[in-house]
Amino acid sequence: MQILHGIHPSSIRRNPPSLVPVPTPQQLRDVHPAIDELRRDTHRLIMPKDLRHRCLLILHALTQAALRHGYTVRPCPVPQPQYREYYDRQRGHHQGYRRRDGAVTITADGLDIPITIMEASPQVDDPVRQEQLILEIPAYGRHGYQYRWADRTRTTVEAALPAVLHEIALRAQDARQQRLWAEQEEIERRHAWEAAIQHARDRATHAHFAEILRGQAADWRTAQQLRTYCDALHGKLGLMDSHDPQVMSTVRWLNWAHAYIRTLDPLTGLPSMPEPPTLDADMLQPYLDGWSADGPR
């Protein structure tokens, strides 16, 4: 469990600070390229002309406000999977789209937020409802972030633009905090991995030295056994004729055996401290207790 200091996001939404007004212009002048591209796209915002113009004005107002806040804006194209097969006299059969909505993408502190506007009820016969719009951004987060604003009896989408901009700022702040937490978690994970790697090196080196020591002890015991055997063989030769060819062959064999024992016995001299081993990833892996030798994952 982690205790986070500050104001809970849901409290900010219940009691938002004073919102900066977002004026909606009456004409489309000096529009952002993303708005201009949407205005020229005759296959988007398929709706009555006046309602389409209002949608563009709303997106234009929100875009200008976003730019004043230091955000960036770019077109929000229709995804290829949403293309359909169409036919017209000029182009024949072709892949394309015909959509009632329009959208741009606002990027705030690295967070991309598509802004979509559309008719609320395009199929109804009620003339009042036919004029109503909905503005949406993707659902987000764990604390009930608002993502839809619509024309209502007492309010309009234009009046909600300050709240939309405030919501974008809140999401950007939350995303920035999430990135900071993720970066801190990555740093802590790397530190833990580096400690695990060092611990694995120590354990692998310890195992390497222990194996050398056990090998030396085994060689020493073997040398002792061989000396006992050679002493017994030498005692047997003392009772035989030294000029006998078989005895002479055995003597040569004993001489070789004593030389071999001297090379085998680690106590012929003083054993030195071994050099630490050169450890690769495969040698470290058995000692990493679930970590990967290739990185902190």
For residue 174 the two structure tokens come to 């939350």
Instruction: Name the residue among 206, 252, 202, 199 with its Cα closest to residue 230.
Output: 252
Any bridge partners for residue 115, and if so which? Answer: 104
The predicted model gives 165-190 an average pLDDT of 93
Phi (first) and psi of residue 274, to 5 degrees: -65, 155
Q: How far is CA 106 from the centre of its chain?
A: 23
- Please tell me whether the overall predicted TM-score, pTM, comes out greater than 0.85 for this model: no
On whether the CB atoms of residues 129 and 152 are closer than 8 A, the answer is no
- CA Rg, the chain, in Å? 41
Q: In percent, how much of the chain has pLDDT > 70? A: 90
DSSP per-residue codes, 248-289: HHHHHHHHHHHHHHHHH-GGGSPPPPPPPP---HHHHGGGST
Contacts of residues 251-256 at CB distance under 8 Å and 24 or more positions apart, as own/partner, are: 254/230
Kindly state the tokens that stand for 67. Answer: 């730019």
Kindly give the residue spans of alpha helices, DSSP state H, lying in the chain. Answer: 9-14, 33-40, 49-68, 127-130, 157-237, 245-264, 281-284
What is the domain partition of the chain in residue ranges? 9-186, 190-287
Show the DSSP H helices in 69-156 as ranges: 127-130
Give the model's pLDDT for residue 97. Answer: 73
pLDDT digits 0-9 by tens, 229-274: 999 999 888 878 778 889 899 999 999 999 999 999 999 999 999 9
Q: Categorize the per-residue pLDDT at 7 as very low, low, confident or very high, splitting at 50, 70 and 90.
A: very low
CA atoms within 13 A on the CB side of 249: 3
More confident residue, 94 or 29: 29
- Give the model confidence (pLDDT) of 69-128 as tens digits: 999 999 998 887 777 776 676 766 667 778 889 999 999 999 999 999 999 988 888 888
